[in-house]
Amino acid sequence: MMKKILLSCLSFLLIFGSLQAQDGKKALKKASQAIAAFNLDQSNKAKLQEAADYIATAEADAETAGEIKTWLKKGEIYGVIATQLTNIKTLGVGDPSELPAVDRPAYNSFKAFEKAFGMAEKKYEKKDALKGLEMSQGTLSNMGIYAYDDQKYEDAYENFNGVLIAHQILKDNGGTSALEGTEGQLSEQKYITGLAALNANKTKMATKMFRELYDEKYDKPAIYEALYKLESEASSVEDAYQYLDAGRQKYPDDISLLFAEINHFLKMNKLDVLITKLEQAIKQEPDNMSLYATLGNVFDNLYQKSSEEGDEAKAQEYFDKALERYNQALAKDPKYFDAIYSIGALYYNKAAAMTKQLITLEGDYSKDGMKKYEAMKTKVFAEFDEALPFFEKAESLNPNDANTLIALKEIFARKDDLATSGEFKDRLDKVQAGGKNDTSYFKNK
């Protein structure tokens, strides 16, 4: 009795498996019919949906999933969907919601043809798969561009890289790649693939692409900046500079590379080198106020360094140069916050440095000592007074800048104006607690 039951179950499984296989074959046949009907009448979007649904059934079936014609048909159907999407985006006619909602149609069309090529044994099968790969390059490229424009960088990378993979398969097997038509087309494809990989944080692939282009001496300044960025993260800023240096030598007028080099020397704190680089940048972009402010900051740092070393003559020279650069920025925009704040900070830091000297004179109660103390105190307060109107102006432009509020709180405290100092303490506390001051204290400055 038990044997009969077991044999019955086995018989049921065999019948069920046979039915599933029949469903897969039937679905594949219906998918072929549906896509053929759509190709004859492309207004009949229902047929395209049928084709997508049926090919999904065929792909899910174990038997038909092992047949090359399933993947060739999937590649065809998904390629048609991708082409329809491209036409809608290019021509602005049609509704994407009328098309089957399949995932990454161009990329999955390419992957289907790639799989089919790997399964191909007969000559005509390989020919059909290669033809599909040729077709997929165009849709991959278009969908990659759309994804990149939408800042979907991972999708863009997958599509762009698919074009390169298809190119290699076609090249190795006698097919015709779209990247062979024009000189430099392959390098351009690597370039946009590298950019997409960089933006998608696929650093390994981005490095591979840009190194190949670097070795090819491909004519794009961004390659050198990208390699500098990638190598800085992978090894060290010092080692990475070779790419930036090579780019600056090859493209001396490229402003993006110049700015990257300025940022490099800022990181390295090589202030003397920075001066030359910033002055060059100002010549190229004379209306860029941030360059004047940055150069002013460099001279400010050199002023502080010389002051600490006791070289008063050099310190005053750098102080004057910093002030000059900040004023050059203000001449272009009198409301440029960075320059206004920086002038205030320049005078404030000078006063703070002099305060250290003032403290050393506090213990000398002789007549001469008291006289020196009062003279130094007058100088200190004179510098704070120079700084004050700039901080007031800065606060009127941005009442929530913490550094400005700190400076104003300290200056008014030194002037024994405790009420105003307390006002700025309250405003500072609000900002540091995550709040905002709705209005500035110095509204009319």
- From first to last of its 445 residues, what are the pLDDT tens digits of the chain? 444 444 444 444 444 444 344 688 999 999 999 999 999 999 999 999 999 999 999 999 999 999 999 999 999 999 999 999 999 988 888 899 999 999 999 999 999 999 999 999 999 999 999 999 999 999 999 999 999 999 999 999 999 999 999 999 999 999 999 999 788 899 999 999 999 999 999 999 999 999 999 999 999 999 999 999 999 988 888 889 999 999 999 998 888 998 898 889 888 888 888 899 899 889 999 999 999 999 999 999 889 888 888 888 999 999 999 999 999 999 999 999 999 999 999 999 888 877 766 666 566 666 665 777 667 677 878 888 999 999 999 999 999 999 999 999 999 998 889 999 999 999 999 999 999 999 999 986 5
The pTM for the full model equals 0.71
Q: Tokens standing for 93?
A: 């006619």
Distance CA 403, CA 380 (A): 20
Q: How far is CA 20 from CA 8, 60, 144, in A?
A: 18, 10, 37
**Integer Cα distance of 373 and 377 in angstroms:** 6
CA dihedral 80, 85, 86, 87 (to 10 degrees): 90
Say how far apart CA 255 and CA 386 lie, in whole Å.
36
Q: Which residues contact 32 (CB under 8 A, 6 or more apart)?
A: 73
Distance CA 183, CA 38 (A): 37
Q: How far apart are the C-alpha atoms of 400 and 436, rounded to whole Å? A: 6
In the structure encoding, which two tokens stand for residue 441, read together? Answer: 């204290």
C-alpha 301/C-alpha 322 separation (Å) is 9
